[in-house]
A and B are shown apart, each in its own frame.
Chain A
Amino acid sequence: MVSEKVTFPHMGTSYIPVKVLLESLGLTCVVPPLNNVRTLEKSLVQAPEFMCFPYKLILGNLIYGLDHGACTVVFGGSRGPCRQEYYNDVLQAALRDMGYSFDYVNLNLSKLWTRENYEAARNAWGVKLRQVLKSLALTVKVLFAVESLYECARRKRCRACDSIAVEGVLQNYVDAVGRAHGYAAVMGLTRQARRDIRALPDKVTDKYLKVALVGEIFVTSDSFANLDIERKLGGLGVDVTTYMGPGTWVRDHLVRKLRPFHKKELAQELAWEFWHVDDIGGHGVQTVGNSVLSSRRGFDGIIHLYPLTCMPEIAAQSAFNAIQERYGVPIMTLVVDEMTGEAGFDTRLEAFVDMLASRGSGGLCQ
């Protein structure tokens, strides 16, 4: 039986449901602070330069957790032709080379609902199947509640009289949820925050631009990794839609896998128009498919995000010229990593939004 004091890496807001899951299994969590510049302090020294940005953040989180008393690392690896498949082994090796000793519990996130994962948890902590099933059900509920809260914030930012008020509610929520324990408390806070955001007064105008975020799942869902793109776009009066996040993952790898028949994802089907493959690794096909979907749904623009050196997304980028020509919706690609300059990033966002606004109204100044 391994230690009950566990740590795990961040990916956007996934820490909220993950904490509920681990705590309801009777474990103590050392939650690293949300990703920030200090997360990278120690990991950048260790990580190879052209390793992807998510890896550097994940490593930084785990270093923090182990430095602050955790004895077990819980990591969700996946199977699929992208480097992330090896992170499971590479992270373990890197941390042991740094002199940490710890237990490691690896969950296979490609198939959330498998005997393998249950056995990993049972061997580690001796948890019972009934307990796992119950915790999992509660976790999924929290996950979708959190997703719905952030979805609500994305809708509200461009519509609220005071978009900073939305940030205030979210900041208070993040502070409170960091201190809360257990399903009931977390769920209560999440619902309350959602109600608070919905209650904020709206502007009278209903003119706003609609932009879709597509790309690599980690950077599109982690606000530090994507330099808070949702907030920045919201502040520029843009209604942001994102396709990628922990919720997408769970829907694809748990909910859909429970269905008795297998059907292609919508994004995969739509991508077929430009690419005759079902998978090129990571979420490359989904990026192409979601771009097509957004173009068809009448979005004003699409922003493609990926961490530097992400192979599947580089491949996906090659389809954009054809998609733009076919549907006429502009797509801007932004590449992020720890070297990204915020000023340049903001300039590109601002210029993109300006362009969308002027396309809509037919003139730079009109």
Chain B
Amino acid sequence: MADFYLGADVGSVSTNVVALDEQKHLSAKVYLRTGGRPLVALIDGVRAIQQTIGPSARVAGVGATGSGRLLAGCLLGADVVKNEITAHAAASLETEPSVRTVLEIGGQDSKIIFLRQGTVSDFAMNTVCAAGTGSFLDRQAARLNVPIEKFGQYALLSRQPVRIAGRCAVFAESDMVHKQQMGHTLPDIIRGLCEAIVRNYLNNLAKGKKIESPVVFQGGVAANIGIVEEFKRQLCCDIIVPRHYDVMGALGSALLAFEAMNGKGQGMNGKGQGMNGKGQGTSFVGFDRLHRDYNARSVECDDCVNACEVIELRADGKLVSCWGDRCGKWSVVLAQGEEPRLFTKPADCEQAEPHHEQAVESRPRGRA
């Protein structure tokens, strides 16, 4: 019976799941739209993978990444829960061992990763703005009535790109509307948009750092040939788009799970460690247990002024996990097996309770 390693990347726009075999070859991949429902997308994804690799396949390790990695980690019982940077770097290194720069544009964030001697030496991620990421392109494609898959091909038809203001997604859209009304052709506008996105990316992320080849471009946006060509033109070097560019995050997390389960996971910090410790089997919940009825909701804790939003995840009505508390006290109580007081309160009485603290008044000590 073959062993498989699963990797799940729950992102803002897409949820991807992959399965690796024991030789670290990709044996199944699923790319799904998250559609605002990460739980459903993830379960569908894992089920689709199960159908490809067969019902008798044994899962030897699970990794989770993406913005929904905590959720995915709880739901699947992941052995490794890692951030996207590390996962993407791991996947790039596996597919292109000599890589020195990774460009990644995802649904709502973009990253640039610099690698030297097989390790991340520096990275940058967009901080205050998400213009030029996948969701923006998605939206523009929908507005222009062009299927997102063909968006890039349109750009290649352009002879005279239009300059689009790319700093803010909303203003870029206004600018595009304006350019359409001026009578510019669709290909010119799309090419202009690709240019603006690449310009924005290089100015805001790379910020004068040296981009050395080989350069790998991955993430959902790498499907857009217009953007790839634009990167080639502006960086004056070849751009490698890996075969599984769209699921690199999931691939990376599966690789990290592989390493962790095969005893190479030392030295990893914090949450990187397999949740069940080394040397034991996977903590994967099993395919059959995914059919439970899941519910997640947030509760505002009013124990102190931090007013944390604590997220609780229930499976078949039973609390399985919670996170989001700054002090960690609810997570600790949960680990001891009790239902924390915070979650037993009925949901509607929270709104009814006024939240305002009493003024902290102090007595004067002596008079002047």
**A interface residue numbers (CB < 8 A to B):** 4, 19, 23-34, 36-38, 68-69, 125-128, 131, 164, 167-168, 171, 175, 178-179, 181-182, 209, 224, 228, 231, 235-237, 308, 321, 324, 330, 332-335, 337, 339, 343-344, 347-348, 350-355, 357-366
Residue B84, interface by CB 8 Å: yes
A364 and B86 contact, Cβ closer than 8 Å, known pairs A38-B355, A164-B332, A343-B67? yes
A26 and B269 contact, Cβ closer than 8 Å, known pairs A36-B305, A68-B359, A308-B128? no
- In the complex, the answer to whether B367 meets A26 with C-beta atoms within 8 Å is yes
- In the complex, the answer to whether A365 meets B269 with C-beta atoms within 8 Å is no
Chain B residues within 8 Å of A308, by CB: 128
Closest to B266 in A: A366
Query: A237, A351, A362 — which one has the most chain B CB atoms within 10 A of its CB?
Result: A351
- In the complex, the answer to whether A364 meets B269 with C-beta atoms within 8 Å is no
- In the complex, the answer to whether A171 meets B327 with C-beta atoms within 8 Å is yes
* CB contact between B270 and one of A131, A353, A359 (< 8 Å): that residue: A353
Chain B residues within 8 Å of A127, by CB: 368
Residue B23, interface by CB 8 Å: no
Q: Within the assembled complex, what's the spacing in Å between the Cα atoms of A12 and B276?
A: 37
Minimum C-beta distance from B131 to chain A (A): 14
Minimum C-beta distance from B275 to chain A (A): 15
- Interface hit among B47-55, B113-121, B141-149, B345-353: B113-121
Q: Say which size band chain B's interface belongs to.
A: 35 or more
- In the complex, the answer to whether A236 meets B368 with C-beta atoms within 8 Å is no
* CB contact between B86 and one of A37, A321, A351 (< 8 Å): that residue: A351
Chain B residues within 8 Å of A171, by CB: 304, 327
- In the complex, the answer to whether B259 meets A365 with C-beta atoms within 8 Å is yes
Total CB contacts across the A-B interface at under 8 A: 162
Residue B362, interface by CB 8 Å: yes
Chain B residues within 8 Å of A360, by CB: 267
* CB contact between B364 and one of A23, A337, A354, A357 (< 8 Å): that residue: A23
Residue B1, interface by CB 8 Å: no
Closest to B118 in A: A363
- In the complex, the answer to whether A362 meets B269 with C-beta atoms within 8 Å is no
Residue B109, interface by CB 8 Å: yes
Closest to A235 in B: B270
- In the complex, the answer to whether B328 meets A164 with C-beta atoms within 8 Å is yes
* CB contact between A363 and one of B119, B123, B305, B332 (< 8 Å): that residue: B119
A366 and B264 contact, Cβ closer than 8 Å, known pairs A69-B361, A308-B128, A355-B85? yes
* CB contact between B109 and one of A128, A344, A357 (< 8 Å): that residue: A344
A28 and B363 contact, Cβ closer than 8 Å, known pairs A36-B306, A167-B328, A354-B86? yes
Residue B326, interface by CB 8 Å: yes
Residue B90, interface by CB 8 Å: yes
Residue B127, interface by CB 8 Å: yes
* CB contact between B120 and one of A32, A175, A354 (< 8 Å): that residue: A354
Closest to B358 in A: A68
Chain B residues within 8 Å of A175, by CB: 304
- In the complex, the answer to whether B368 meets A330 with C-beta atoms within 8 Å is no
Closest to A65 in B: B359
Residue B182, interface by CB 8 Å: no
Q: Offer 30 A-B interface pairs, CB within 8 angstroms, sorted by A.
A: A23-B365, A31-B362, A33-B360, A34-B305, A36-B307, A38-B355, A125-B368, A167-B326, A167-B328, A178-B360, A308-B128, A321-B207, A321-B208, A332-B124, A334-B127, A337-B128, A344-B109, A350-B271, A351-B123, A354-B83, A354-B272, A357-B269, A359-B119, A364-B93, A364-B119, A365-B90, A365-B259, A365-B260, A365-B265, A366-B267
* CB contact between A24 and one of B118, B360, B365 (< 8 Å): that residue: B365
Q: Within the assembled complex, what's the spacing in Å between the Cα atoms of A4 and B268?
A: 55
Residue B279, interface by CB 8 Å: no
A30 and B361 contact, Cβ closer than 8 Å, known pairs A237-B270, A350-B83, A354-B86? yes
Query: B270, B272, B366 — which one has the most chain A CB atoms within 10 A of its CB?
Result: B270
Chain B residues within 8 Å of A361, by CB: 267
A25 and B368 contact, Cβ closer than 8 Å, known pairs A69-B361, A354-B83, A355-B123? yes
A335 and B128 contact, Cβ closer than 8 Å, known pairs A164-B327, A363-B118? yes
- In the complex, the answer to whether B85 meets A335 with C-beta atoms within 8 Å is no
- In the complex, the answer to whether B264 meets A354 with C-beta atoms within 8 Å is no
Closest to B258 in A: A365
Residue B20, interface by CB 8 Å: no
* CB contact between B269 and one of A29, A37, A237 (< 8 Å): that residue: A237
Q: Within the assembled complex, what's the spacing in Å between the Cα atoms of A355 and B85?
A: 9
Bits for B246-282, please: 1 = Cβ < 8 Å to A, else 0. 0000000001100110001111111110000000000
Minimum C-beta distance from A22 to chain B (A): 9
Residue B357, interface by CB 8 Å: yes
Minimum C-beta distance from B9 to chain A (A): 13
* CB contact between B362 and one of A28, A36, A333 (< 8 Å): that residue: A28
* CB contact between A69 and one of B207, B269, B359, B368 (< 8 Å): that residue: B359
Closest to B66 in A: A347
Query: A228, A333, A350 — which one has the most chain B CB atoms within 10 A of its CB?
Result: A350
Closest to A317 in B: B207
Bits for B187-219, please: 1 = Cβ < 8 Å to A, else 0. 000000000000000000001110000000000
- In the complex, the answer to whether A358 meets B120 with C-beta atoms within 8 Å is yes
- In the complex, the answer to whether B127 meets A333 with C-beta atoms within 8 Å is yes
Chain B 59-93 residues near chain A, CB threshold 8 A: 67, 82-86, 89-90, 93
